[in-house]
Amino acid sequence: MAIHPTVSFAPPEQPPAAAPPLSSIERVEAWTVSQAADVLAATSISSPTPAERPVRGTVDAIDIPLDESLQAEQPPRPKRGNVHTVYKRREPIRRDSQRRREALLKGKEGSRQRRRWENDRLLSNPYAQPPLPSDWQVQPTYPRHAVPYFLAPLWDAEYARSSSERKKKMDEAKSP
């Protein structure tokens, strides 16, 4: 489908003499609205035929002459001088800040409380390592051997034999 305008752009009409003179902005708005209405009324929508197909890259340009520039000149603003501050901006004081709470827990430098706090966190030990996740798992402190169910009787027999041998050696050592 293509849009084919059938009218050319006409210059804007002069307003009647009885009407008060319009400013340049009002004239441009009226002209563009009337021109847009004329162009839209004169367009037709149809399917393109190979002979009517426009050459690629050709464009109808619309010129809108402006009598005056739209920018009203404003007086320049006075320049503000650089503000020099001696102290850097402090954070707003909060009654219960985390930083204050940590400072109270630590204590003063060199105090017993501070040394205990540093020792609890191992700050003075360069070889300290954080605990691993396996350190928090519940497990026995003795070595535990996982024995498959079918091997359990053989395991028990081996322990019974080694236990009886130990008892024999102890008895032989006692009797001269």
Distances (CA, A) of 115 to 100, 105, 123, 124, 125: 18, 11, 10, 10, 13
Q: Are 128 and 122 within 8 A, CB to CB?
A: yes
Reported confidence tier of residue 47, pLDDT bands at 50, 70, 90: low
- Nearest to residue 27, comparing CAs of 15, 9, 40? 15
Cα atoms in the Cβ-side hemisphere of radius 13 Å centred on 91: 7
pLDDT at 108: 93
User: Region 23-37: what's the mean pLDDT?
Assistant: 64
Residue 173 has pLDDT above 70, yes or no: yes
Strand ranges (E), 65-142: none
**11 dihedral zone (left: phi>0; alpha: psi -120 to 50; beta):** beta
**How many Å apart are CA 151 and CA 153, to the nearest integer?**
6
Model confidence pLDDT, tens digit, residues 102-149:
888 899 999 999 999 888 888 788 888 888 999 899 999 999 988 899
d(CA 41, CA 33): 12
pLDDT at residue 18 in the model: 56
- With cut-offs at 50, 70 and 90, classify the pLDDT of residue 164: very high
43 — pLDDT class (breaks 50, 70, 90)? confident
Tokens 């205990």: give the residue. 116
3-state secondary structure 129-176: CCCCHHHHCCCCCCCCCCCCHHHHHHHHHHHHHHHHHHHHHHHHHHCC
**Residue 64 φ/ψ region, left for φ over 0, alpha for ψ in the -120 to 50 degree band, beta for the rest:** beta
Token pair for 7: 């009218």
Tokens 């169910």 sit on residue: 149
Domain ranges of the chain: 2-14+21-46, 99-127
Rg (CA), the chain: 49
